[in-house]
A = this chain, B = another copy of it.
Amino acid sequence: MNNFKFIDGGVTTPQGFTANGVCAGVKAATSAAITKAIKANESPVIPNGKRDLALIACDKPCAAAAIFTKNLVKSDTIYVTREHLQNGTAQAVIVNSGNANACNPDGYEKASAMAKLAADALDIDENDVIVASTGVIGQPLPLSPIESGVNALKDILSKDGGTNAAEAIMTTDTVKKEWAVEVEIGGKTVTIGGIAKGSGMIHINMGTTLSFVTTDAAISAEMLREALISAADVSYNMVSVDGDTSTNDTLAILASGYAGNAEITEKNADYFTFLEALTAAFKEVAKKLARDGEGATKLLICKVSGAFDEQAAKTVSKSVICSSLVKAAMFGADANCGRILCAIGYSGARVDDVRKIDVSYKSAAGEILVCQNGCGLAFDEEKAEKILLENEIEIIITLADGDGSAEAYGCDLTYDYVKINGDYRT
């Protein structure tokens, strides 16, 4: 039985946190057309009405931790946030969409200025502000919409504003991503909530997303960091949309302590109860990210068991989820097992006996074995197609090498992925 349960809510559900999101005009101000208008000294068009600036705040400083993209090319927001989190404390998050503030000569100054704008508005220390950006790379970040946006936001921060914040961090996302879980720790009800964005440029190396998580658990910054890394490892680090990782990925968590549980300062039972809930929530986020992958029509879950060890299982499941050919076949509801076997074979994982691989497809419409002992079966094509026409497909791989198991999350490759990314900037 689980100690936790999912509840309606988001980043403002845990005690102490408020948030909101507004249309500040960053998106409008940085689209290629506008850049051109500015260059030509013409007046830029008005904002298109999409929210693009979010502020999340706590009424007191929180224990905080974050993990970031492993891409060598990083947005300066990451350098600024990393510095601000050195003391393990934060009180607010300011984040814009529409412009990644990456690969700009003045990126560091502008990321710092964003943090200062939020700090001044909230009357807190600028070192307690986490700053993040997402959007087009290599275009100057316009600060004036952020300044006016922050001023608007400080007056409307509320318990009801979490959904607007979730909306404000969306880029090519088609759905808002927010969630909350409740878990009992030491007799106290602890709440964890979060928002996430991510649709394209999603890959296994960290998770390639912006995600902001709040909790009222009492937990040290160090344990918060440990839990964050552990939970991300089997969730954010197991999801791929297109194999690309971005310059801006940030997964941050703030803990207010208002739940009143005995502070978690070591890996005791309370820690693992907290971790279990966090991990379950993050796995749901991973599925949300994959399901909303750019152009995706299907969520793919690749479950591997019987691998030599957990690492081999992870490597195999990720390889299958990342294969363009597997993804295109799933789009077409084509039960091609050759592509699965290929992706296992080139994964680089230790696979001791390729003549003992079984592969099944499973969905709400049933389950079908398509490969047994490494050989293709003459399966019922009609049944297979019916299974693959569902919008959530499990690819189940059974190896005979050991006890390792893992699951990875991905999506199909569709015409719309190409369409969305053929002309992203305009």
Interface residues of chain A, those whose CB is within 8 Å of chain B, are 32, 35-36, 39, 70-74, 100, 102-105, 136-139, 200-201, 203, 205, 242-247, 322-325, 328-329, 331-334, 336-339, 341-346, 351, 354, 357, 370-371, 373-378, 381, 413-415, 417-426
CA–CA, A276 and B18, complex, Å? 67
Contact check, B378 vs A341: say whether CB atoms are below 8 A apart: no
Contact check, B105 vs A375: say whether CB atoms are below 8 A apart: yes
Contact check, B245 vs A418: say whether CB atoms are below 8 A apart: no
What distance in Å separates the Cβ of A399 from its nearest Cβ neighbour in chain B?
A: 11
Contact check, A374 vs B73: say whether CB atoms are below 8 A apart: yes
Copies, count: 2
Measured between beta carbons, the chain B residues less than 8 angstroms from A201 are 325, 342
Measured between beta carbons, the chain B residues less than 8 angstroms from A414 are 418
Contact check, A345 vs B71: say whether CB atoms are below 8 A apart: yes
Contact check, B323 vs A375: say whether CB atoms are below 8 A apart: no
- On whether A342 and B138 interact (CB within 8 A), knowing A36-B381, A329-B424, A425-B334, the answer reads no
Cross-interface CB contact of A346 among B205, B332, B373, B413, cutoff 8 Å? B205
Cross-interface CB contact of A418 among B243, B374, B413, cutoff 8 Å? B413
Contact check, B338 vs A103: say whether CB atoms are below 8 A apart: yes
CA–CA, A38 and B181, complex, Å? 54
Cross-interface CB contact of A325 among B100, B103, B242, B415, cutoff 8 Å? B242
- The winner among A35, A342, A377 for most chain B CB atoms within 10 A is A342
Contact check, B72 vs A344: say whether CB atoms are below 8 A apart: yes
What distance in Å separates the Cβ of A414 from its nearest Cβ neighbour in chain B?
A: 6
CA–CA, A374 and B418, complex, Å? 26
What distance in Å separates the Cβ of A112 from its nearest Cβ neighbour in chain B?
A: 17
What distance in Å separates the Cβ of A27 from its nearest Cβ neighbour in chain B?
A: 16
Contact check, B344 vs A73: say whether CB atoms are below 8 A apart: yes
What distance in Å separates the Cβ of A44 from its nearest Cβ neighbour in chain B?
A: 14
Contact check, B371 vs A103: say whether CB atoms are below 8 A apart: yes
**Residue contacts A-B, CB under 8 angstroms, 23 given:** A72-B345, A72-B354, A73-B342, A73-B357, A102-B341, A104-B376, A105-B375, A137-B342, A138-B376, A201-B342, A203-B346, A243-B322, A244-B323, A244-B342, A247-B338, A324-B324, A328-B417, A328-B420, A332-B424, A334-B426, A415-B418, A415-B419, A417-B418
Contact check, B328 vs A422: say whether CB atoms are below 8 A apart: yes
Closest to A205 in B: B346
Known A245-B346, A247-B345, A334-B425; 20 more pairs at CB < 8 Å: A36-B381, A71-B346, A72-B351, A103-B337, A103-B341, A137-B339, A137-B341, A138-B370, A138-B375, A139-B376, A201-B325, A243-B324, A244-B324, A244-B343, A246-B342, A331-B418, A332-B424, A334-B424, A336-B425, A415-B418
Measured between beta carbons, the chain B residues less than 8 angstroms from A105 are 373, 375
Cross-interface CB contact of A328 among B35, B325, B371, B421, cutoff 8 Å? B421
Closest to A322 in B: B243
Measured between beta carbons, the chain B residues less than 8 angstroms from A242 are 324-325
Closest to A323 in B: B244
Measured between beta carbons, the chain B residues less than 8 angstroms from A245 are 342, 345-346
Cross-interface CB contact of A339 among B244, B332, B344, cutoff 8 Å? B244
CA–CA, A375 and B103, complex, Å? 4
What distance in Å separates the Cβ of A7 from its nearest Cβ neighbour in chain B?
A: 36
Measured between beta carbons, the chain B residues less than 8 angstroms from A333 are 423
CA–CA, A240 and B414, complex, Å? 19
CA–CA, A343 and B247, complex, Å? 10
CA–CA, A137 and B376, complex, Å? 7
Rank and list the top 3 A-B pairs by shortest CB-CB distance, nearest first: A138-B376, A137-B338, A332-B422
Closest to A106 in B: B375
CA–CA, A50 and B336, complex, Å? 22
CA–CA, A418 and B375, complex, Å? 26
Measured between beta carbons, the chain B residues less than 8 angstroms from A73 are 341-342, 344-345, 354, 357, 374
Contact check, A244 vs B331: say whether CB atoms are below 8 A apart: no
- On whether A328 and B418 interact (CB within 8 A), knowing A341-B137, A343-B244, the answer reads yes
